[in-house]
Amino acid sequence: MAWMYILRCRDGTYYTGSTAIDVEARVWEHNNDERAASYTRKRRPVTLAYAEFFDSVEAAFRREKQVQGWSRAKKEALMAGRGDELPQLSRTRLGSKGTAEGTADASTSSASER
């Protein structure tokens, strides 16, 4: 049992992570535990905005890393269930040489947080 999740922070930013524990327990840790990610400790309270279940921690971690690289607009489309918009949102961020332009919002975690 594993989860990839997106938290909405007090300042409106998103945090993307993965965990092998129950996702609600992990959100509690982000809000209450001093061992939680430093990013979320500074932006409490956080709320669960989105979660996906996976059969393995490895699969959840791969998905976490994929989503971390996405733009804010693409994450918001995912959270809203507008999966049909994801390909277009990817193309609109690509420059003429096929490289991403702009910056993604802050969404980080480390393997030790899983």
**Gap between the Cα atoms of 76 and 35, Å rounded:** 27
Contact 77, 62 (CB under 8 A): no
Q: Report which of 33, 61, 59, 57 is spatially closest to residue 46, judged by C-alpha positions.
A: 33
**22-26, 33-37, 53-57, 108-112: range with lowest mean pLDDT:** 108-112
Q: Strand, helix or coil at 7?
A: strand
What's the predicted TM-score (pTM) here? 0.81
Res. 8 pLDDT band, cuts 50 70 90: very high
Which domains does the chain possess? 2-113 (3.40.1440)
**Region 68-87: what's the mean pLDDT?**
96
Which candidate, 53, 84, 85, 89, places its Cα nearest to that of 70? 89
Span 31-76, pLDDT tens digits: 999 989 999 999 999 999 999 999 999 999 999 999 999 999 999 9
pLDDT at 111: 38
Res 108: pLDDT: 43
